[in-house]
């Protein structure tokens, strides 16, 4: 955790040194490819656009497109960005990042809502503190798996078995699940993995995943995040505590989370974009940015629905 905080501070320090002025009449066009619409990704995009608008005003134009959860559509979107010779591409979520990387090795690509860049980009021995070495950088939504394992044991101290549910098509979900399993193994708690290929399988998979378990863990999985109502409708009557990877998922149908601010990682990503566009920063050497302070939060409605009394130290999620 200390390393993550230090890395974010390093990014902010570099950005704080930026002082170059935007040349008069210069306008930058940025293509934003967001994988799917849900609270976390929406917040990251909002933060990204806010940072650049604050710094550039009318000197920045955005082409925001949503792939509606389809990786193939991400490829179509970023191909259009490349054809239009946009100044920078922001890829929100791992499939969007991979599509952008496949489409161009010259236009700067900033990712956000990506858990682990080395895994996503398949770069061995990548040091996130010194960059990717290619035309890619960005911010991560990664939270140490141990924090989720600790949350399970704090909320369900007698847990003997925990199910893990995620989309098998999302590499960063696989990584988070593997890390969580290792943590639970150390605690002597059994785990069972249940995966779905797409949203069509979620109901059947979650129904199987609630059998004989004391809790459920869902990582920061975009497909699951877009379908938390389905998950909640199955788990709530069974009284299953759901520990989610992020706040938006939890607020939409989980019990508790250890969450970062997606708006904040989007905002830092926007500041990185400014440094690249205006100050000529070398994206290949830009450190990956991380959120500084994950917070323990819970969904009061779900807690009430399953008759669960939360311990002290958890902040209630405010939903609109």
Length in residues, the chain: 320
Note whether 158 and 225 are same-domain residues: yes
CA separation for the pair 65, 250 (Å, rounded): 25
pTM: 0.82
Would you say residue 72 has pLDDT above 60?
yes
Q: How far apart are CA 136 and CA 299, in angstroms?
A: 35
- Sheet hosting strand 88-92, strand order edge to edge: 60-66, 28-34, 88-92, 109-114, 136-140, 289-290
- Pair 274, 184 in one domain: no
Is 54 a residue whose pLDDT tops 60? yes
Contact 217, 151 (CB under 8 A): no
| Predicted local distance difference test score (pLDDT) of residue 19 | 38
69 touches 94 (CB < 8 A): no
Predicted local confidence at residue 1, as pLDDT: 46
Say if residue 47 is in the same domain as residue 196.
no
In this structure, is the dihedral angle defined by the CA atoms of residues 26, 31, 37 and 39, taken in order, positive or negative?
negative
Co-location of 73 and 119 in the same domain:
yes
Residues 38 and 119 in one domain: yes
Q: Is 153 found in the same domain as 130?
A: no
- pLDDT reported for residue 318: 84
pLDDT tens digits, residue range 214-232? Answer: 999 999 999 999 999 999 9
Quick one: pLDDT at residue 22? Answer: 59
State residue 292's pLDDT score.
75
* Joined tokens for residue 82: 């490349």
**307: helix, coil or strand?**
coil
Q: Using one digit for the tens of pLDDT, what is the confidence trace for 173-229? A: 999 999 999 999 999 999 999 999 989 999 999 999 999 999 999 999 999 999 999
Domain assignment of residue 168, given as a range? 145-259+295-316
Asked if 56 and 171 sit in the same domain, the reply is no
CA distance 294 to 197: 29
Query: Quick one: which of 25, 26, 29, 27 has its CA closest to 86?
Result: 29
The 3-state DSSP composition of the chain as helix, strand, coil percent (nearest 5) reads 45, 20, 35
pLDDT of residue 24: 61
Domain co-membership, 135 together with 20: yes
pLDDT, the chain, mean = 92
Nearest Cα neighbor of 283 from 182, 179, 83, 136 is 136
pLDDT of residue 15: 46
Answer yes or no: do 74 and 106 share one domain. Answer: yes
Residue 5 has pLDDT above 50, yes or no: no
272-309 burial, b for 16+ CB within 10 Å, e for fewer?
bbbbbbbeebebeebbbbbbbebebbbbeebbebbebe
User: Are 93 and 168 members of one domain?
Assistant: no
- What is the predicted pLDDT for the residue at 2? 42
What CATH number is associated with residue 268? 3.40.50.2300
pLDDT of 237: 97
Mean pLDDT score, 265-292:
95
Indicate whether 215 and 230 sit together in one domain. yes
Name the residue with higher pLDDT: 25 or 55.
55
Our count of domains for the chain comes to 2
Q: Is the pLDDT of residue 23 over 80?
A: no
Q: Specify the pLDDT at position 293.
A: 82
pLDDT at 290: 87
% of the chain exceeding 90 in pLDDT: 87
Residues 129 and 277 in one domain: yes
Q: Decide if pLDDT at 12 tops 80.
A: no
């Amino acid at each position: 955790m200390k390393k993550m905080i230090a890395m974010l501070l390093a990014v902010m320090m570099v950005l704080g040194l930026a002082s170059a002025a935007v040349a008069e009449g210069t306008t930058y066009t940025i293509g934003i490819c967001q994988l799917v619409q849900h609270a976390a990704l929406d917040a990251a995009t909002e933060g990204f656009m806010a940072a650049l608008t604050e710094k550039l005003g009318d000197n920045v134009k955005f082409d925001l497109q949503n792939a509606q959860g389809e990786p193939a559509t991400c490829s179509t979107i970023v191909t259009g960005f490349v054809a239009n010779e946009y100044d920078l591409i922001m890829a929100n979520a791992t499939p969007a990042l991979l599509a952008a990387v496949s489409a161009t090795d010259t236009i700067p690509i900033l990712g956000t809502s990506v858990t682990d860049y080395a895994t996503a980009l398949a770069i061995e021995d990548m040091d996130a503190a010194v960059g990717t070495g290619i035309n890619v950088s960005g911010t991560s939504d990664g939270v140490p798996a141990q924090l989720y394992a600790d949350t399970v044991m704090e909320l369900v101290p007698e847990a003997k078995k925990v199910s893990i549910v995620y989309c098998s098509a999302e590499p960063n979900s696989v990584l988070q699940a593997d890390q969580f399993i290792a943590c639970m193994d150390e605690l002597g708690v059994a785990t069972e993995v249940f995966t779905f290929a797409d949203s069509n399988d979620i109901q059947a998979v979650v129904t199987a995943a609630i059998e004989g378990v004391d809790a459920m863990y869902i990582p920061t999985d975009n497909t699951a995040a877009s379908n938390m109502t389905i998950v909640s409708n199955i788990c709530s009557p069974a009284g299953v505590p759901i520990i989610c990877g992020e706040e938006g998922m939890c607020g939409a149908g989980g019990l508790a989370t250890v969450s970062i601010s997606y708006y904040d990682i989007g905002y830092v990503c926007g500041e990185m974009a400014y440094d690249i566009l205006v100050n000529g920063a070398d994206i290949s050497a830009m450190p990956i940015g991380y959120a500084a302070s994950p917070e323990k939060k819970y969904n009061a409605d779900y807690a009430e629905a399953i008759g669960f009394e939360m311990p002290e130290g958890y902040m209630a999620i405010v939903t609109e």
